[in-house]
């Protein structure tokens, strides 16, 4: 049952357009803590407000950060960001083209469970586990019906 709940926590929001990320550092404490899952939705530049938490790429290797918007440069379409637990704003502004989206909600601590399931290997393992369960249920049903 816990496996089904974990899959639902991952799958249902993704059908609604969310991307899920696990918080890996303390930079957004106490708002988000290590192991929290954030649900990120694409948002147009003009709809991002000061105080919003955005998730964005910080390099070409795909490293992702979630920080709060504390400033906007309308002309360059860039954001000034800062982790809630950091003393200073981030050094480099964030170009809108690097923004994945705005965090709409989060679930504390569940990332420790969900992150492995959300990976490609985790999805394969969950699919296999569900398949084995279906086979076992059918086998048991057959054995009960046949008296075997």
Give the model confidence (pLDDT) of 67-105 as tens digits. 999 999 999 999 999 999 999 999 999 999 999 999 999
Q: How many CA within 13 A on the CB side of residue 68?
A: 17
Domain residue spans of the chain:
2-113
- The structure's pTM equals 0.72
Give the model confidence (pLDDT) of 16-68 as tens digits. 788 988 999 999 999 999 999 999 999 999 999 999 999 999 998 989 999 99
| Domain 2-113, second-level architecture | Ribbon (2.10)
Q: How confident is the model at residue 131 (pLDDT cuts 50, 70, 90)?
A: confident
Q: How many CA within 13 A on the CB side of residue 9?
A: 24
Residue-level pLDDT at 133: 81
| Cα 79 versus chain centre, distance | 21
């Amino acid at each position: 049952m816990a496996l089904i709940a974990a899959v639902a926590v991952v799958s249902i929001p993704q059908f609604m357009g969310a991307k899920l990320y696990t918080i890996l550092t303390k930079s957004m404490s106490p708002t988000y803590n290590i192991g929290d899952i954030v649900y990120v939705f694409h948002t147009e530049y003009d709809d991002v407000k000061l105080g919003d938490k955005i998730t964005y790429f910080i390099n070409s290797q795909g490293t992702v950060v979630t920080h709060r918007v504390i400033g906007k440069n309308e002309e360059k379409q860039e954001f000034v960001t800062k982790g809630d637990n950091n003393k200073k704003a981030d050094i480099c502004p964030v170009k809108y083209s690097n923004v994945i989206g705005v965090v709409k909600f989060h679930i504390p601590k569940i990332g420790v469970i969900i992150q492995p399931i959300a990976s490609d290997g985790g999805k394969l393992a969950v699919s296999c586990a569900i398949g084995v369960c279906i086979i076992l249920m059918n086998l048991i049903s057959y054995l009960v019906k046949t008296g075997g």
